[in-house]
Structure 1
Amino acid sequence: MQQDHAPIVLAVAPNGARRGKADHPALPLALPELAETAAACRAAGASMLHLHVRDPEGRHLLDAGAYRDAAGAIAERAGADFVVQLTTEAAGRYQSADQQALLHALPDAFAGAPLFVSLGLREVDAALRRDASGAAAGLSEAALAEMFAACRAGGIRFQVILYDAADLQRYLQLRRRGVIDDPRPALLFVLGRYSQDGQSRPDALLPFLAADLPDGASWMVCAFGAREAACALAAATLGGHVRLGFENNLHLADGSAAADNAALVTQLARGLPLAGRRAATTAEARACLGLPA
């Protein structure tokens, strides 16, 4: 009897903020490349793309208009239902005020359409802690709560990025205090980013799952280096979703260079039945992530 495998969101992070063509010639930077990558990854099983855009010099860019143009190009090639997530990552180039300005500008740039945006808790928390210490201007908890409320009212849904179990506990603390208010939390657990060798291990997921996650929360994993696929299969087996791609890893599980981002998606999609999972459709991905159809 055929097993009814549960859907898993496969998200591709095709470029990131720092890598370039010198790292891999198939790393997509220009809009046509991003659009083609999205289409190829969707055909391989992905239902979502984590979007970084670059300026004409190839530098990481936080710009609402550039995001609008890139999302439009992706929709034309991969379909309007394909999930595009925008990053707010500072990447050493931007400050908290720049990230807030981006969030303020996005609803107008996208004409009020619902948006899915990633937000690193450590970047937000750094602003809070600077504010508390008086060392530099930052966000008060009241101001942060207002920012989350305004973003929610403007159609922005967040996936909060967490690097370790301490980050998760800090997130839960802010949530208990009402600073972060989201009835359907979307969380990204980053495995091994600050390990000594910069390589992720599947067992790094366990401390995250030891916590009491909020009801209705969805969680996703991303990993670095040679064990990306192993970490992804561990997440799939334990009920999570997966983000993978050239932002964090350029190699297949056998150590050979991946031809492109779609090759990484294909590799994982083929292994999902071993974990009792299957790649989600875009409609299923939207439901899993709490996004409108």
Structure 2
Amino acid sequence: MTRAYALAVAPNGARRTHVDHPALPMTPDDLGACAKACLDAGTAMIHLHVRKADGTHSLEVPDYTAGIAAVRRAVGNELVLQVTTEAVGIYTPEQQIATVHALRPEAISVALREVLPDAAHAPAAEAFFAWLWREQITTQYILYDTEDVAHYRRLRASGAIPAGRHWVLFVLGRYSKGQLSSPSDLLPFLSAWGTGSDALREDPTATPWAMCAFGPREAECALAAVLQGGHARIGFENNLYLPDGSLSPDNVASLSVLTAAATPLALAPMTADALRELTR
């Protein structure tokens, strides 16, 4: 029996440019073409970063509107389109929230430590979480370490993050020069999350989780996650290299490393509609 996993592509991120890789998608048209190619490679979701005219990171509504339109022209609803709220040290929590309110996208990702950096931001952040749930905007809460996992657990226990309509992303490492992730980096997250419990794995109401990793062992980390019942995000945002250390030609080649390893193990990437059902 084949088991399905969600495969997401993070094709560009907020920091890299064509100086880092000539195939990095920067413009709306680039993003549309990349989305179509990654859909054909088995991707269910695109994690969308957009840029200003000068190529720098943007959370501006007009920039997002253009990027979203280009992706939808290319793939229709065949990919879940996830808008990032990543601040990159530029945008405040208030600005992050305002962008999402204006866009009302299908899905977003949000780092707990960015939108809720301290107790003073709790009322606005918790109102935001409740609004996302009411508006049926699928949210992926980004967790960078076990402290973030514990924070997420507290928010769930208090009801600040309602059950359902969301999933989480474990980040195996940091956005820092020379960061190299290893499959063992997943272990502290799994211990804090409790995925070693058969009851949690078998509970249909359990919150789905995914991971992303840095460096040439990205696909190896992803396969470890999928084997543990999780899901994977792969792409040039976090890693430009293939397992042999050579430069990956494009995002599709990076995705294909995982799918080629997973297929003989009866693991297959799910469709966008299956992912929507998983995270509803």
Match of 2:273 among 262, 283, 290: 283
* Distance in structure 2 (CA, Å) of the matches to 1:269 and 1:202: 17
Give, as a single letter, the amino acid of the residue that structure 1 aligns with 2:217.
R
| Equivalent in the alignment of 2:261 | 271
Match of 1:144 among 125, 129, 134: 125
Give, as a single letter, the amino acid of the residue that structure 1 aligns with 2:65.
R
* Distance in structure 1 (CA, Å) of the matches to 2:278 and 2:242: 27
Secondary structure in structure 1 of the residue aligned to 2:216: helix
| Equivalent in the alignment of 2:221 | 231
Q: CA deviation at 1:155?
A: 3.4
Q: CA deviation at 1:195?
A: 8.5
Deviation beyond 3 Å, 4+ runs, structure 1: 194-197, 212-215
* Distance in structure 2 (CA, Å) of the matches to 1:124 and 1:173: 16
* Distance in structure 2 (CA, Å) of the matches to 1:176 and 1:100: 23
**C-alpha contact 2:139 2:165 (8 A) present in aligned 1:** no
Q: CA deviation at 1:262?
A: 0.8
| Equivalent in the alignment of 2:134 | 153
* Distance in structure 2 (CA, Å) of the matches to 1:200 and 1:275: 23
Q: CA deviation at 1:177?
A: 1.6
Aligned pair 1:120/2:111, yes or no?
Answer: yes
Judging changes above 3 Å, is the alpha-carbon distance between structure 1 residues 185 and 154 closer, same or farther for their aligned structure 2 residues?
closer
Give, as a single letter, the amino acid of the residue that structure 1 aligns with 2:208.
S
Match of 1:171 among 146, 149, 152: 152
Q: CA deviation at 1:16?
A: 0.3
* Distance in structure 2 (CA, Å) of the matches to 1:283 and 1:151: 20
Match of 2:47 among 37, 47, 50: 50
Q: Which runs of 5+ in 1 are unaligned?
A: 108-113, 132-138
**C-alpha contact 2:14 2:88 (8 A) present in aligned 1:** yes
* Distance in structure 1 (CA, Å) of the matches to 2:176 and 2:83: 26
Give, as a single letter, the amino acid of the residue that structure 1 aligns with 2:189.
F
| Residue deviations 1:4-29 (CA, integer Å, cap 9, x gap) | 21111110000000000000000000
Give, as a single letter, the amino acid of the residue that structure 2 aligns with 1:26.
A
**C-alpha contact 2:29 2:70 (8 A) present in aligned 1:** yes
Judging changes above 3 Å, is the alpha-carbon distance between structure 1 residues 197 and 32 closer, same or farther for their aligned structure 2 residues?
closer
Aligned pair 1:252/2:215, yes or no?
Answer: no
- Aligned identity (percent) is 43
**C-alpha contact 2:43 2:269 (8 A) present in aligned 1:** yes
| Residue deviations 1:202-233 (CA, integer Å, cap 9, x gap) | 01111212233774311011000121011011
* Distance in structure 2 (CA, Å) of the matches to 1:209 and 1:47: 23
Aligned pair 1:70/2:67, yes or no?
Answer: yes
* Distance in structure 2 (CA, Å) of the matches to 1:274 and 1:203: 23
Give, as a single letter, the amino acid of the residue that structure 1 aligns with 2:69.
G
Give, as a single letter, the amino acid of the residue that structure 2 aligns with 1:38.
A
**C-alpha contact 1:185 1:216 (8 A) present in aligned 2:** no
Judging changes above 3 Å, is the alpha-carbon distance between structure 1 residues 105 and 194 closer, same or farther for their aligned structure 2 residues?
closer
| Equivalent in the alignment of 1:14 | 11
| Residue deviations 1:114-161 (CA, integer Å, cap 9, x gap) | 6100000111231x24x2xxxxxxx2x333222222222233221000
User: How much is the aligned-residue C-alpha RMSD, in angstroms?
Assistant: 1.9
Match of 1:100 among 93, 97, 101: 97
Secondary structure in structure 1 of the residue aligned to 2:219: helix
The worse-fitting range, judged by mean Cα deviation, of 174-183 and 200-209 is: 174-183
* Distance in structure 2 (CA, Å) of the matches to 1:64 and 1:7: 34
Secondary structure in structure 1 of the residue aligned to 2:217: helix
**C-alpha contact 1:218 1:289 (8 A) present in aligned 2:** yes
| Equivalent in the alignment of 1:111 | none
Q: How many residues align?
A: 271
**C-alpha contact 2:138 2:165 (8 A) present in aligned 1:** no
Give, as a single letter, the amino acid of the residue that structure 1 aligns with 2:27.
A
TM-score (norm 1): 0.87
* Distance in structure 1 (CA, Å) of the matches to 2:78 and 2:149: 30
